Structure 1
Amino acid sequence: MLIKRRNFMKSMGLGAAALGLGQTSSLANISNQTKVPRKKPNVIIVFADQLRKHAVGCYGNDFVRTPNIDALAANGMRFDHGISNCPTCVAARSNLLSGQYARTCAGSRLNEVVSHIGRDDRKKFKDPTLAEEFKKLGYKTAQVGKWHIDTRPSLLGFDESMIVGRIFTKGNFWKNEGQSYDVDGFTADHEIDAVNNFIKENKDEPFFMYYNITSPHMPILDVPYQYSHMYNPSEVPLRQNVWKNGKLPYNEYWFHIYLWLHGWGIDYKPTTAKIPPGFSLRDVAALYYGSVTWVDDLLGSMMNTLKQNGLENDTIIIFSADHGDQLGSHHLWNKARLYEESINIPMIYSCPGRIKKDVNTTQTATLIDVMPTLLSLCGADIPQSVHGQDLTPILKGEKTTLDRDYAFVETSYGKIGIRTPTHLYGASLDKDDREIENIRYKFFDIENDPYEKNNMVNTSAQKGVADELRDKLIAWEKNTPRLEGVKYDPFFYRDNNF
């Protein structure tokens, strides 16, 4: 059944203020019904970079070792359909901290930033952020690791920050937006030390910490030896959609980037500028998985510190990522594609006694949902500007599915899509980012075609489903506002290969 027009605004979940309306958002009503009367819990977001769902043990990967992520999931709610609303670093992080779509909070769907630290103004992020809302609740707020947002942390509600610049060896940081300083060893070690120290020093007061782990983002060769040599390339399983005509993808340019970030103007000199003979996607995948296990060990260190300080049962933890990685699927690399490998990310909420232990397979859980959900769990009202929805009824076991069980996605290449628990429908925008140029870009039955090999968009297959998703996507595109008052490039245009 096609969605009825009078129910559109409610089903989209867009905040009334964001659309210039004067009505009360249903999100605030949900929030008021689910306030937690107990002591304020601590909140930690552990945010990996470029970690796709398919590379984690609890999501069905029985090759990679991720015992700490798996344990976190076993003690909380794991969403099978965790979706990045914009699978690019800056845009996705903007989604997370604003609860809004990237076009609204930051305008650009690119990695557009003025510096590592960010802008000195609020021309972007005009509405309250997650950190600002936690400060109102009396929380101490801190950011550690990768920032990659186009406004300074201090302007978005963070009391403390430690932003990484160069990664991983020969790295540098900015502490509280001061002068840059260099560090010895791996930047990830410096970050986890800061995270653990913050927990110890603030165990007696409520805190909100935004902990960003740069791995498994490239360079995946610049990692500790134990991880770069952890997995045997000949044993690495590959996704079924990496082959074309029986051949694996090979791209020396991208292999250089994966290994060393070579060619992107990064001040990092690899030990060799040549891809060794016989090097293949399997070698890249083995290194990627090694970086994933590095992420898992860093999470384990943080979890151990929480336990040692008696905070493991009074801290809400979200483990997720900004986006995934194509890693050769569909012969594509990196991120930002309207494909499962880019948009489907881990999404785990955990807190004993507050969040039910379960696996949800019927609800999409997105980055813009994090802000309203955390605020609701902590007993706060949700700003009217938020586009995401409160997942608390699911986390508490009261429901398994909300009225809006689908997610909207926008990408760096001018593509937009709607992802349900079973399907993905996509369209493309014109170069001015104002109108839909092609409403029949792609349509996949994810449930029966998980590797997205059969694009049904130009067929009559499942026409009723396709028509309903198309209409929802058109309505969302028409009614979701874009940032005004600042010049930005919305996305790359045009690359027909993507």
Structure 2
Amino acid sequence: MVLVLGLLGSGSLLTRGAAAETSSPKGRYNVLFMMADDLNNALSCYQHPLVQTPNIDRLAARGMKFDRAYTQFPLCNPSRASFLTGLRPDHTRVYDNAVHFRENVPDVVTLPQCFREHGYFAARVGKLFHYGVPTQIGTSGLDDPQSWDAVVNPRGRDKDEEDKIFSLVRGQFGGTLSWLSADGTDEEQTDGIGAAEAVRLLEEHRGERFFVAVGFYRPHTPYVAPHRYFEMYPLDRVPLPEIPPGYFDTVPAAAITLKREERAMDEGLKRQAIQAYLASISFMDAQVGKVLDAVDRLGLADETVIVMTSDHGYHMHEHGLWQKRSLFEESARVPLIVSVPGMKHAGKATSGIVEMVDIYPTLADLCGLAMPPHLDGQSMVPLLENPDLPGKPFAVTQVTRGGGKNVFHGYSVRTARWRYTEWDGGERGVELYDHEKDPGEMRNLGEDPAYADVRAELKKLIPNRGGN
């Protein structure tokens, strides 16, 4: 196992010191920001009938669960660049996994940087800003050095034993369905190492205000977890969504992200992939539990805001699709739990609509920090104080298709009842789904004349490229 630990250079520390001298008084709370990679809402606290996530569940029991939280772009780098800067993707202009956001918005103050400039100790463990998994495990990838005082880049047995991983395409892992029921212990895995390092940071900095961000790698492909997590999900109990014949003909071609090797999977292989994904979720949940245990053991619960989320949702054969980059609910929706010391509505859920771009202003608001003027989101504190509020009138999620001169955009708006999606301004197709009658989004009303007025109203909510 290899662990890379970096403390940022003296110049950065001097910058932090200068900021602390001129900042507002220390914030009200510490922040522990935890996120999984490629995690959908397959959690027991989100009523999944099979998945066991007791640790995320206990966080939900002492926090608030957001049932309608949406990513702005269901791909790792664009999503992370968006919510960590507080800017929508059309403002960061990050639409793929290769561009660093500072190429386009060089002076933006990120979420952790904002806390750092207010005198907090800011540290990262694992993947917060983007880097490729598993290729760049153990490195900093597209990290943002000026956001942190210290960084930890864990690397574990899962990275060192890639030759044992099964993949639909031999030797490909990051964007290809791949998995391994692994030998050894949790502590040998990258996320196990990351959890231990997060605990160490909490122990070392318990006496000062901190913003500690912990980015877990699972359940991102390859789905690697020790054997016991696979044993939790016998193949004969693994659910496999059914897709009616001719379904793909009812939606625009741009809505379908199915790869050739995925089309070739038989039912047995599909169940193995889902089993591995669920096993990875439960493994990740166990590492979350270690960090939560440390918060309680160190007496930090009464002064620490805790957030648990993911960068976007994920498909496990819903709509016949796998992985991410779609504009269906499974890809656009994310789990989001926020726990605030002494909160009045602990254990409650809200159906109010929120977006990931709202996380930055919410944490600044909760901690009493001055918010940078550039933020595109809005604070979720009103919902934390009253979960019956409706939240935003709608959320916006976008993706791209094609490449180079042939690239085009898809935008989707989600209201309390409807999801409306346009591809290339409607030139390459339109989708409309009624969540009151069709929560699975399986009946596309995009060309049904009976819903022309609904489409016309929802079309007004689609943003102009580069606009709000």
TM-score relative to the length of structure 2: 0.77
Q: CA deviation at 1:125?
A: 4.9
Paired AA for residue 28 in structure 2 = K
Change (3 A) 1:282 1:342: same
1:454 maps to 443
Q: Describe how 1:151-300 pairs up with structure 2 within 5 A.
A: 151-155=142-146, 157-163=147-153, 168-170=158-160, 185-220=188-223, 222-240=224-242, 242=243, 244=245, 253-254=261-262, 279-300=268-289
Asked if the contact 1:137–1:380 (Cα under 8 Å) also holds between the matched residues in 2, the reply is yes
Q: Describe how 1:289-368 pairs up with structure 2 within 5 A.
A: 289-354=278-343, 356-357=345-346, 359-368=348-357
Paired AA for residue 385 in structure 1 = H
- Aligned-partner Cα distance in 2 for 1:344–1:212: 19
Change (3 A) 1:250 1:79: closer
2:124 maps to 143
Q: CA deviation at 1:356?
A: 2.6
- Aligned-partner Cα distance in 1 for 2:458–2:261: 37
Q: CA deviation at 1:151?
A: 4.8
| Residue-pair matches, total | 396
- Aligned-partner Cα distance in 1 for 2:435–2:269: 28
Q: CA deviation at 1:380?
A: 1.6
Paired AA for residue 50 in structure 1 = D
- Aligned-partner Cα distance in 2 for 1:381–1:167: 42
2:97 maps to 111
Q: CA deviation at 1:397?
A: 2.1
- Aligned-partner Cα distance in 1 for 2:145–2:440: 42
Paired AA for residue 407 in structure 1 = A
- Tell me, yes or no, if structure 1 residue 78 matches structure 2 residue 65: yes
Paired AA for residue 195 in structure 1 = A
**Residue ranges of structure 1 left out of the alignment (5+ in a row):** 1-35, 173-183, 257-274, 430-435, 482-498
Q: CA deviation at 1:167?
A: 7.6
Q: CA deviation at 1:399?
A: 6.0
Deviations 1:106-148 (A, max 9, x none): x1322125xxxx68x6544532111121012211101111241
Q: CA deviation at 1:170?
A: 1.2
Paired AA for residue 89 in structure 1 = C
Change (3 A) 1:38 1:422: farther
1:7 maps to none
Deviates more, 1:384-393 or 1:358-367: 358-367
Q: Higher helix fraction: Structure 1 or Structure 2?
A: 2
Deviations 1:215-250 (A, max 9, x none): 111111x3212123321011112345x45479xx99
Paired AA for residue 79 in structure 2 = A
Q: Describe how 1:34-73 pairs up with structure 2 within 5 A.
A: 40-53=28-41, 55-73=42-60
1:376 maps to 365
Deviates more, 1:355-364 or 1:206-215: 355-364
Asked if the contact 1:47–1:212 (Cα under 8 Å) also holds between the matched residues in 2, the reply is yes
Q: CA deviation at 1:201?
A: 0.5
Asked if the contact 2:84–2:360 (Cα under 8 Å) also holds between the matched residues in 1, the reply is yes
**Residue ranges of structure 2 left out of the alignment (5+ in a row):** 1-23, 132-140, 163-186, 248-256, 402-408
* Aligned-residue identity in percent: 27
- Pairwise CA RMSD: 3.0
